[in-house]
C-alpha cells in the first residue's frame, strides 16, 4: 500500500468494534437492523437481493472511508517513518530517499490513487509491515487469522449456544435455583475484566498447578503443520484463553436470553399455548424461546463480526499469536499499513456477519420478509 | 357447520366427550350434575412488598351443561381473574387461596400438571382478550392446529388436514388462511383463528375473556355472531366475560354480575334487564341507552333536544353541580374550516394502490359548537384530527383556523395553533409520562404556552385540577399517573389540554378505554367545558351513544368519505346511509335484542 497512514481516531473506533466479541446483547443495534425491514413485495429471493444490495453499498462505503480518512491526515507515511528515526538522530537525505522508495509516495491524482487502492484491496496487497519488517501485511494476517478465528470464533459460538440454553432454562424455571444460580453467576462473571480473569487462571492453573501452558499457541518444540500431534498441542494451548473468553462472555448471553424469554413468556401466545394444553417443552422451545432468540441474534451477529478483531486483551495476556495480538503490536508500533489492513478486515467481517444475520432473520421471522 | 359435520368430525377423531354433541345437554343424567360447580372460590394477589389484594372473594356458582352465561363487571372487578382461575391459567402473584372448582365433579385444583394438560382437551378451553396476540408470530396457522393435535393425539395424523380445514370453516374463514402467518391476518381474523384453535380441543366448557374488546365495532359484532352460532351448533357450555353489559345481555341467557371480587347478582338476562336487584347492576344498566331513541338520557345527561328546547345547560338539568368552574365565555373566537381536504399516503408496498385515507371532506366547526366525527377504525377520522392539529399536511384542500392556514404554519405560528387547538387522546394510560407528577405534567404546557412564572403556574395547576374535578387538588397534584384510576387519568389529560386555555378541543375516543361508570363523568366534563366556557369540541368516536349525548352535529365517515351529515339526533334516529345503519346495528342494546328474540 502506497500511503498507509491511519488516524488514531478511527483506530480507536475500530478497536471498540474489534473487541466486540465479548457477548454484549447489542440492544441498540438490534433495533437498528430490525428497523431495516424490507418494504418490497414478498419472495425470499427479493429479500436476499435487497439485503445483498444494502451489504454491497455499505461495504463500498466502508472501503472508501478507509481510503479517505488517512488522506485527511497531514504528511506522508514516509514523513512518519522519518520522524520516528529522527528521534534517534539526524536523518540524511539519502535515508529519506530510501524510505520514500521503500514505502512509496502517492502517485497521480486522487482518483488514480483511489483506483489503485481498490485494486490493492481486491488483490489483498496491503504493503509491508513496519514493525515486522520485511514481512508483508498479508503474510502476517494470514498467519494470525486461523488462530484467532478458531479460538475466538469457536468460543463465541459456544458461548452463544450455551448461554442461550441456560437463559432459556433460567427463564422457564423462573424463581427456582435453576434461575437464581445462572442469573447471579452470570451477572457476577460478566463483570470480571478479561485480563483479570486471564491473570487469575494463568497464575493458578498455569504457574501454580502447571496444568496448562502459560504462553503461545503451540509448544516451542513443535512446528505448525496439519499433523495430529500439532493439532492436539494447539488445542491444549488454547484451553486457557478459551475458558477466559467463555467465562467473561457467557453471562451476557445468559442474561440477555433470560430477560428476552421472560418477556415472551408473558406474551399472549404463550398463555394461549398453555391454555391449549401443549406440552411444556413445546411451549418453552417453539413458542417462548423461538421468539425470544430473535433480538439476541443481532448481538450474536456483532459478536461474530468482532471475532476477526480477536480478543486483544486475552491474546495479549496469553501471548497468543492471533489478530488481537497483531493489532496490539500494530498500534504500539504505529504500524500504519498493518493497522489499516486490520481495521478494514474487522469492518468487513462485521458487515459480513450482519449480512448473514439479516438473512437468518429473514428465515426465522416471517414478519421481516413482508 | 351443521350438526352432521360436527358429529362426523368428532366421531372420526375418536372423541367421546359428551358435550361435543348438542344432544348431551338434554340427556337426563348429564343435566343433573352441573358441568362446573364453583364453591367459595377466592383468588388473592400477593406481590412482594405490597398489601395482598383479594381479587376474587368467596365466589360460588354453578353452570349447567350447554348453558351460555355472561360474567360482567368493570375493570378490577375480578372477572378476568376468575376466568383464569377457572381454567387454572392464573400465574403468580395471583393464587387461588381457598375454595373448590369442580369441573364435571372433580376439583381441578387437585390436578397435577400433566393431568391438567390432558384435561385441556375435551375439558375446558379459553379464548383470550387480545386474541390478535394469541398466535405465535413465527408459526403458520396450520402449525398451531398441528401443535394441538400432537399434544393431545386426539386427531389421527391422516385427519389433520381435513380437521383443520373443517375448523377454519366453522369460524367462517377461507381454508387458504391455514398457510398464512398471524401477521398477515387482520385482528378479527386472528380472533377467529384462536376461537377455531380452542374449538379443536373439543372442549365441554369454553371461557371467552373479552373476546371482542380489542376489535373494531363492526368486526366485534360479526365475531360475537360467530360465537353465538357456534355455541348453539356445538353445544359447549360457555362463559362470556365482558365489561360490556350490553354485549352480554344480547348474547347470553344468564348473567353473573361481579363487583369488587364478589358476584352481586346472578339471574337470567331477562330478570337482570327487567328487574335488577343489586344497586351496582342498576348503575351499570342505567348507562345503556339506544342512540336511535326519540329521547336519550343517561345519569347526569338529560336529553339534548329537551334541554335545548328549554334553554338549559347540562348542569342545570342534572342534580350535580357543573364540573367546571364558572368563567366568562370567550368573546372573539375563530372557526375551524375544513375545505375539500384529502389525504393520500404512499402505497404500503410497491405495486399497490396509494391509500386514500381522507377524500374530499369539508366541514366547519363553529365557535362553541360540538361536532361528532364517527366511523370505524380506518375511516379516516384520526387522520383528519392529525391534519387539523397540523401534525400531517393535507394532500389536497385547505384547513384554516381563523386566519391561520394550518398546513402552512411555521415556527411561532404553530405554537399559536397549538395553544388554541388541543388534543385529548384515547389512551389515558399511554398519554401521561409515568415518571412525572400530575403537577409537573400540567406545569409544562402552562409555562410553554403562557410563559407564566413559577408561582402563577402553581396557581393555574390548582385551578385546572379544580376544573376537571380532581379534588382535593393538593393531593392530586403530587400523584404519579399510576396512582390514578383510568377516569382520573383522562381528567388529567383533559386538564393538560385546557392548560393553554384553548378555543377548540379535539377529543379522539376519550372514553373508549374507560369503564361505563366513569364515562359519564368525563363526557359531562367535556359538555360543561363547552357550555360554560364556550370551548368548541370535535368529538371523534365510534360510540354513537356518547355522540348523541354531547354533540349537536354529526359527520359519518366511511373509507375517508363523508357518507352522512346533519343534526346528531336527526341522523341517528333516521339514518339514510347503509353504513350509518350498520354502525347503529353494531351498538349492543340489551332491550332491542330481547324484544326481537
Are B248 and B328 found together in one domain? no
Position B303 pLDDT exceeds 50? yes
How far is Cα B537 from Cα B504, in angstroms, rounded to an integer? 6
Q: Which of A40, A277, A366 is opposite residue B151, by nearest beta carbon?
A: A277
Which of A273, A275, A289 is best to mutate for the B interface (most B CBs within 10 A)? A275
Inform me whether the C-beta atom of residue A367 falls under 8 Å from chain B C-beta atoms: yes
The answer to whether the Cβ–Cβ distance between B128 and A275 falls below 8 Å is: yes
Inform me whether the C-beta atom of residue A267 falls under 8 Å from chain B C-beta atoms: yes
How far is Cα B498 from Cα B467, in angstroms, rounded to an integer? 9
The pairing of strands B124-127 and B404-405 is: unpaired
Cell of A346: 474487522
Beta bridge partners of B400: B337, B405
Does some domain include residue A130?
Answer: no
Q: Which of A2-16, B324-338, B438-452 has the highest mean pLDDT?
A: B438-452
How far is Cα B119 from Cα B129, in angstroms, rounded to an integer? 22
Are A166 and A72 found together in one domain? no
Mean pLDDT computed over A325-348: 85
Mean pLDDT computed over B405-429: 81
Are B491 and B590 found together in one domain? yes
When mean pLDDT is compared across A76-85, B97-106, B544-553, the lowest value belongs to A76-85
Report phi then psi at B296, rounded to 5: -120, 115
The three-state (H, E, C) secondary structure of B167-229, written as one string:
HHHHCCCCHHHHHCCHHHCCHHHHHHHHHHHHHCCCCCEEEEECCCCCCCHHHHHHHHHHHHH
How far is Cα B409 from Cα B415, in angstroms, rounded to an integer? 9
Which of A47, A179, A266, A277 is best to mutate for the B interface (most B CBs within 10 A)? A277
pLDDT at B260: 87
pLDDT at A310: 64
Confidence of residue A90 (pLDDT cuts 50, 70, 90): confident
Are B188 and B125 found together in one domain? yes
Are A220 and A308 found together in one domain? yes
Are A46 and A194 found together in one domain? no
pTM greater than 0.90 (yes/no): no
The answer to whether the Cβ–Cβ distance between A275 and B120 falls below 8 Å is: yes
Please measure the distance between the N-terminal and C-terminal CA atoms of chain B and give it in whole angstroms: 22
The secondary structure of residue B14, as a DSSP letter, is: T
Confidence of residue A15 (pLDDT cuts 50, 70, 90): very low
Q: What average pLDDT is seen over chain A?
A: 79
Confidence of residue A3 (pLDDT cuts 50, 70, 90): very low
Which of B47, B86, B137, B181 is best to mutate for the A interface (most A CBs within 10 A)? B137
The answer to whether the Cβ–Cβ distance between A370 and B184 falls below 8 Å is: yes
The pairing of strands B336-345 and B262-268 is: unpaired
Q: How far is A142 from chain B (nearest CA, A)?
A: 41
pLDDT at B319: 52
Are B476 and B591 found together in one domain? yes
The answer to whether the Cβ–Cβ distance between A269 and B126 falls below 8 Å is: no
The secondary structure of residue B387, as a DSSP letter, is: H
Position B331 pLDDT exceeds 50? yes
Percentage of chain A exceeding pLDDT 90? 13
Inform me whether the C-beta atom of residue A366 falls under 8 Å from chain B C-beta atoms: yes
How far is Cα B440 from Cα B11, in angstroms, rounded to an integer? 65
Are A339 and A204 found together in one domain? yes
Start-end of H helices in chain A: 8-18, 27-35, 44-71, 77-86, 93-103, 110-122, 137-148, 154-172, 177-190, 194-201, 228-265, 268-275, 280-282, 290-307, 312-317, 323-332, 336-364, 366-369
**Neighboring chain B residues of A279 at a CB cutoff of 8 Å:** 117, 151
Which of B17, B122, B138 is best to mutate for the A interface (most A CBs within 10 A)? B138
Are A185 and A64 found together in one domain? no
Position A254 pLDDT exceeds 50? yes
Are A234 and A303 found together in one domain? yes
Are A183 and A320 found together in one domain? yes
Are B181 and B240 found together in one domain? yes
Q: How many CB pairs lie under 8 A apart between chains A and B?
A: 89
pLDDT at B238: 92
How far is CA B155 from each of CA A81, B11, B194, B202, rounded to the nearest angstrom? 79, 10, 18, 11
Does some domain include residue B52?
Answer: no
- The larger pLDDT score, comparing residue B325 to residue A345, is at A345
Helix (H), strand (E) at residue B385: helix B381-388
Does some domain include residue A257?
Answer: yes
When mean pLDDT is compared across A79-83, A191-195, B119-123, B530-534, the lowest value belongs to A79-83
Question: Contact, B19 vs B204, CB < 8 A?
Answer: yes
Question: Contact, A81 vs A130, CB < 8 A?
Answer: yes
Mean pLDDT computed over A129-142: 84
How far is Cα A222 from Cα B539, in angstroms, rounded to an integer? 84
Are B279 and B414 found together in one domain? no
The answer to whether the Cβ–Cβ distance between B113 and A271 falls below 8 Å is: no
pLDDT at A190: 77
The answer to whether the Cβ–Cβ distance between A275 and B125 falls below 8 Å is: yes
Mean pLDDT computed over A230-238: 83
How far is Cα B363 from Cα B387, in angstroms, rounded to an integer? 13
pLDDT at B270: 87
Position B274 pLDDT exceeds 70? yes
Beta bridge partners of B242: B72
Select from B248, B266, B286 the last residue of a domain.
B286
Which of B118, B128, B146, B147 is best to mutate for the A interface (most A CBs within 10 A)? B147
3-class SS of residue B436? coil
Digit-coded pLDDT (tens) for B210-228: 888 777 778 888 888 889 9
Q: Which of A2-6, B261-265, B414-418 has the highest mean pLDDT?
A: B261-265
How far is Cα B212 from Cα B187, in angstroms, rounded to an integer? 10
The answer to whether the Cβ–Cβ distance between B134 and A276 falls below 8 Å is: no
The secondary structure of residue B410, as a DSSP letter, is: -
Distance of CA A103 to the CA centre of its chain: 29
Reference B436, options B471, B461, B456; nearest CA is B461
Position A108 pLDDT exceeds 60? yes
Q: What average pLDDT is seen over chain B?
A: 82
Position B593 pLDDT exceeds 70? no
How far is CA B207 from each of CA A110, A349, B125, B203, B210, rounded to the nearest angstrom? 74, 53, 6, 10, 9
Does some domain include residue A1?
Answer: no
When mean pLDDT is compared across A32-46, A153-167, B60-74, B382-396, the lowest value belongs to A32-46
Q: How far is A36 from chain B (nearest CA, A)?
A: 15
Nearest CA in chain B to A269: B134
pLDDT at B480: 87
When mean pLDDT is compared across A104-113, A249-258, B6-15, B342-351, the lowest value belongs to B6-15
The answer to whether the Cβ–Cβ distance between B89 and A274 falls below 8 Å is: yes
Does some domain include residue A202?
Answer: yes
How far is Cα B207 from Cα B194, in angstroms, rounded to an integer? 12
Mean pLDDT computed over B8-19: 40
The answer to whether the Cβ–Cβ distance between B120 and A366 falls below 8 Å is: no
pLDDT at B317: 58
Nearest CA in chain A to B149: A278
When mean pLDDT is compared across A20-34, A142-156, A332-346, B49-63, the lowest value belongs to A20-34
Domain that holds residue A86: 8-16+36-122
Digit-coded pLDDT (tens) for B365-400: 988 889 999 988 778 888 888 888 888 888 999 998
pLDDT at B332: 58
pLDDT at A56: 93
Confidence of residue A165 (pLDDT cuts 50, 70, 90): very high
Digit-coded pLDDT (tens) for B171-211: 888 998 899 898 888 888 888 999 999 999 999 999 999 88
Q: How far is B29 from chain A (nearest CA, A)?
A: 28
Which of B47, B93, B129, B134 is best to mutate for the A interface (most A CBs within 10 A)? B134
pLDDT at B522: 81
pLDDT at A311: 74
How far is Cα B329 from Cα A205, in angstroms, rounded to an integer? 85
Question: Contact, B314 vs B347, CB < 8 A?
Answer: no
Does some domain include residue A64?
Answer: yes
Does some domain include residue A21?
Answer: no
Nearest CA in chain A to B134: A269
Are A187 and A147 found together in one domain? yes
Reference A61, options A336, A344, A356; nearest CA is A344
The pairing of strands B421-424 and B504-508 is: parallel
The three-state (H, E, C) secondary structure of B361-381, written as one string:
EEEEECCCCEEEEECCCCCCH
Helix axes B454-467, B438-450, angle to 10 degrees: 120
Report phi then psi at B581, rounded to 5: -60, -45
The three-state (H, E, C) secondary structure of B491-547, written as one string:
HHHHHHHHCCCCCEEEEECCCCCCCHHHHHHHHHHHHHHHHHHCCEEEEEECCHHHH
Number of domains in chain B: 2
**ipTM computed for the complex:** 0.75
Are B545 and B483 found together in one domain? yes
Does some domain include residue B461?
Answer: yes
Confidence of residue B529 (pLDDT cuts 50, 70, 90): confident
Does some domain include residue B384?
Answer: no
**Neighboring chain B residues of A274 at a CB cutoff of 8 Å:** 89
Inform me whether the C-beta atom of residue A262 falls under 8 Å from chain B C-beta atoms: no
Are A269 and A349 found together in one domain? yes
- The larger pLDDT score, comparing residue B109 to residue A221, is at B109
Are A259 and A299 found together in one domain? yes
Are B198 and B83 found together in one domain? yes
Q: Which of A272, A274, A366 is opposite residue B138, by nearest beta carbon?
A: A366
Report chain B residues touching chain A, CB-CB < 8 A. Answer: 87, 89, 92, 113, 116-121, 125-126, 128, 130-131, 133-139, 147-148, 150-152, 181, 183-184, 194, 197-198, 201, 349-351
Does some domain include residue B141?
Answer: yes
Domain that holds residue B9: 3-34+63-89+111-286
The three-state (H, E, C) secondary structure of B99-142, written as one string:
EEEEECCEECCCCCHHHHHHHCCCCEEEECCCHHHCCCCCCCHH
pLDDT at A168: 93
The secondary structure of residue A287, as a DSSP letter, is: I
Beta bridge partners of B338: B363, B399
Position B590 pLDDT exceeds 50? yes
- The larger pLDDT score, comparing residue B1 to residue A54, is at A54
CATH at B255: 3.40.50.300
Inform me whether the C-beta atom of residue A174 falls under 8 Å from chain B C-beta atoms: no
Are B326 and B236 found together in one domain? no
How far is Cα B355 from Cα B491, in angstroms, rounded to an integer? 35
pLDDT at B15: 40
Are B326 and B242 found together in one domain? no
Are B175 and B215 found together in one domain? yes
Are A111 and A179 found together in one domain? no
Are B443 and B333 found together in one domain? yes
Position B30 pLDDT exceeds 70? no
Number of domains in chain A: 2
- The larger pLDDT score, comparing residue A103 to residue B164, is at B164
Select from A122, A157, A175 the last residue of a domain.
A122
Confidence of residue A174 (pLDDT cuts 50, 70, 90): confident
pLDDT at B322: 53
Phi-psi region of B396 (alpha: psi -120 to 50; beta: other; left: phi over 0): beta
List, in order, residues 6 or more apart from B159 with CB less than 8 Å away: B12, B13
pLDDT at A61: 92
Are A70 and A166 found together in one domain? no
Q: Which of B89, B147, B152 is opposite residue A275, by nearest beta carbon?
A: B89
Nearest CA in chain B to A283: B147
Amino acid at each position: 500500500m502506497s500511503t498507509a497512514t491511519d488516524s488514531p481516531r478511527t483506530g480507536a473506533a475500530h478497536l471498540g468494534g474489534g473487541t466486540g466479541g465479548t457477548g454484549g446483547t447489542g440492544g441498540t443495534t438490534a433495533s437498528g437492523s430490525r428497523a431495516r425491514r424490507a418494504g418490497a413485495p414478498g419472495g425470499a429471493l427479493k429479500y436476499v437481493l435487497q439485503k445483498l444490495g444494502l451489504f454491497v453499498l455499505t461495504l463500498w462505503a466502508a472501503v472508501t472511508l478507509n481510503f479517505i480518512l488517512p488522506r485527511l491526515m497531514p504528511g506522508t507515511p514516509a514523513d512518519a517513518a522519518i520522524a520516528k528515526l529522527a528521534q534517534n538522530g539526524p536523518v540524511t537525505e539519502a535515508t529519506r530517499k530510501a524510505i520514500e522508495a521503500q514505502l512509496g509516495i502517492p502517485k497521480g491524482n486522487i482518483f488514480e490513487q483511489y483506483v489503485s487502492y481498490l485494486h490493492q484491496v481486491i488483490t489483498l496487497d496491503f504493503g509491508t509491515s513496519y514493525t515486522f519488517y520485511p514481512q508483508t501485511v498479508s503474510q502476517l494476517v494470514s498467519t494470525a487469522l486461523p488462530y484467532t478465528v478458531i479460538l475466538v470464533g469457536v468460543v463465541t459460538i459456544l458461548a452463544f449456544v450455551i448461554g442461550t440454553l441456560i437463559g432459556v432454562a433460567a427463564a422457564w424455571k423462573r424463581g427456582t435455583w435453576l434461575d437464581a444460580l445462572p442469573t447471579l453467576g452470570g451477572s457476577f462473571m460478566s463483570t470480571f475484566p478479561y485480563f483479570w480473569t486471564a491473570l487469575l487462571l494463568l497464575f493458578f492453573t498455569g504457574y501454580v498447578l502447571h496444568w496448562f501452558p502459560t504462553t503461545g499457541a503451540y509448544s516451542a518444540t513443535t512446528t505448525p503443520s496439519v499433523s495430529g500431534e500439532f493439532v492436539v498441542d494447539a488445542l491444549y494451548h488454547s484451553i486457557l484463553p478459551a475458558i477466559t473468553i467463555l467465562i467473561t462472555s457467557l453471562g451476557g448471553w445468559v442474561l440477555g436470553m433470560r430477560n428476552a424469554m421472560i418477556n415472551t413468556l408473558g406474551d399472549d401466545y404463550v398463555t394461549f399455548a398453555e391454555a391449549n394444553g401443549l406440552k411444556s417443552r413445546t411451549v418453552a422451545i417453539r413458542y417462548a424461546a423461538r421468539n425470544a432468540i430473535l433480538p439476541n441474534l443481532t448481538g450474536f451477529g456483532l459478536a461474530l463480526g468482532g471475532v476477526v478483531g480477536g480478543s486483544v486483551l486475552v491474546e495479549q495476556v496469553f501471548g497468543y499469536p492471533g489478530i488481537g495480538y497483531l493489532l496490539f503490536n500494530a498500534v504500539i508500533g504505529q504500524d500504519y499499513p498493518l493497522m489499516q489492513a486490520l481495521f478494514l478486515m474487522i469492518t468487513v467481517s462485521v458487515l459480513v456477519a450482519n449480512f448473514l444475520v439479516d438473512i437468518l432473520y429473514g428465515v426465522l421471522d416471517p414478519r421481516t420478509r413482508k | 357447520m351443521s350438526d352432521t359435520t360436527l358429529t362426523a368430525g368428532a366421531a372420526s377423531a375418536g372423541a367421546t366427550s359428551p358435550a361435543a354433541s348438542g344432544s348431551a345437554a338434554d340427556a337426563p343424567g348429564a343435566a343433573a350434575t352441573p358441568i362446573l360447580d364453583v364453591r367459595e372460590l377466592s383468588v388473592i394477589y400477593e406481590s412482594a412488598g405490597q398489601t395482598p389484594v383479594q381479587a376474587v372473594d368467596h365466589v360460588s356458582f354453578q353452570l349447567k351443561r350447554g348453558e351460555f352465561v355472561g360474567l360482567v363487571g368493570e375493570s378490577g372487578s375480578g372477572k378476568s381473574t376468575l376466568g383464569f382461575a377457572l381454567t387454572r391459567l392464573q400465574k403468580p402473584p395471583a393464587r387461588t387461596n381457598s375454595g373448590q372448582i369442580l369441573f364435571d365433579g372433580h376439583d381441578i385444583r387437585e390436578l397435577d400438571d400433566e393431568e391438567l394438560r390432558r384435561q385441556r382437551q375435551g375439558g375446558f378451553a379459553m379464548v383470550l382478550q387480545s386474541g390478535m396476540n394469541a398466535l405465535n408470530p413465527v408459526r403458520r396457522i396450520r402449525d398451531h392446529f398441528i401443535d394441538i393435535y400432537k399434544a393431545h393425539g386426539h386427531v389421527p395424523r391422516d385427519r389433520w388436514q381435513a380437521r383443520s380445514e373443517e375448523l377454519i370453516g366453522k369460524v367462517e374463514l377461507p381454508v387458504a388462511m391455514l398457510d398464512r402467518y398471524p401477521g398477515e391476518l387482520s385482528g378479527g381474523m386472528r380472533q377467529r383463528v384462536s376461537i377455531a384453535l380452542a374449538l379443536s380441543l373439543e372442549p365441554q366448557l369454553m371461557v371467552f375473556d373479552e373476546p371482542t374488546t380489542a376489535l373494531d365495532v363492526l368486526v366485534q359484532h360479526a365475531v360475537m355472531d360467530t360465537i353465538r352460532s357456534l355455541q348453539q351448533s356445538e353445544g359447549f357450555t360457555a362463559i362470556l366475560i365482558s365489561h360490556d353489559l350490553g354485549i352480554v345481555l344480547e348474547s347470553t341467557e344468564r348473567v353473573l354480575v361481579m363487583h369488587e371480587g364478589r358476584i352481586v347478582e346472578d339471574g337470567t338476562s331477562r330478570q337482570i334487564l327487567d328487574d335488577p336487584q343489586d344497586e351496582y347492576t342498576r348503575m351499570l344498566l342505567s348507562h345503556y341507552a339506544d342512540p336511535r331513541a326519540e329521547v336519550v338520557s343517561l345519569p347526569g345527561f338529560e336529553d339534548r333536544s329537551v334541554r335545548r328546547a328549554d334553554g338549559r345547560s347540562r348542569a342545570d338539568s342534572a342534580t350535580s353541580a357543573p364540573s367546571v368552574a364558572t368563567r366568562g365565555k370567550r368573546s372573539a373566537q375563530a372557526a375551524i374550516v375544513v375545505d375539500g381536504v384529502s389525504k393520500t399516503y404512499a402505497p404500503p408496498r410497491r405495486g399497490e394502490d396509494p391509500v386514500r385515507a381522507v377524500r374530499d371532506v369539508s366541514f366547519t366547526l363553529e365557535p362553541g359548537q360540538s361536532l361528532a366525527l364517527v366511523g370505524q377504525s380506518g375511516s379516516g377520522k384520526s387522520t383528519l384530527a392529525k391534519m387539523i392539529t397540523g401534525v400531517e399536511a393535507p394532500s389536497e384542500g385547505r384547513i384554516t383556523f381563523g386566519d391561520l392556514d394550518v398546513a402552512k404554519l411555521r415556527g411561532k405560528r404553530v405554537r399559536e395553533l397549538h395553544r388554541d387547538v388541543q388534543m385529548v387522546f384515547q389512551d389515558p394510560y399511554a398519554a401521561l409520562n409515568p415518571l412525572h407528577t400530575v403537577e409537573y405534567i400540567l406545569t409544562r404546557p402552562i409555562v410553554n404556552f403562557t410563559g407564566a412564572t413559577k408561582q402563577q403556574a402553581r396557581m393555574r395547576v390548582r385551578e385546572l385540577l379544580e376544573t376537571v374535578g380532581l379534588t382535593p387538588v393538593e393531593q392530586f397534584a403530587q400523584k404519579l399517573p399510576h396512582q390514578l384510576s383510568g377516569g382520573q387519568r383522562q381528567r388529567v389529560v383533559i386538564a393538560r389540554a385546557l392548560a393553554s386555555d384553548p378555543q377548540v378541543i379535539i377529543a379522539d375516543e376519550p372514553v373508549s378505554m374507560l369503564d361505563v361508570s366513569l364515562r359519564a363523568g368525563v363526557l359531562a366534563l367535556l359538555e360543561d367545558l363547552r357550555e360554560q366556557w364556550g370551548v368548541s369540541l370535535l368529538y371523534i368516536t365510534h360510540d354513537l351513544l356518547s355522540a348523541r349525548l354531547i354533540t349537536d352535529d354529526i359527520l359519518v365517515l366511511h373509507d375517508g368519505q363523508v357518507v352522512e351529515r346533519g343534526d346528531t339526533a336527526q341522523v341517528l334516529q333516521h339514518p339514510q346511509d347503509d353504513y350509518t345503519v350498520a354502525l347503529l346495528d353494531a351498538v349492543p342494546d340489551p332491550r332491542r335484542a330481547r324484544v326481537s328474540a
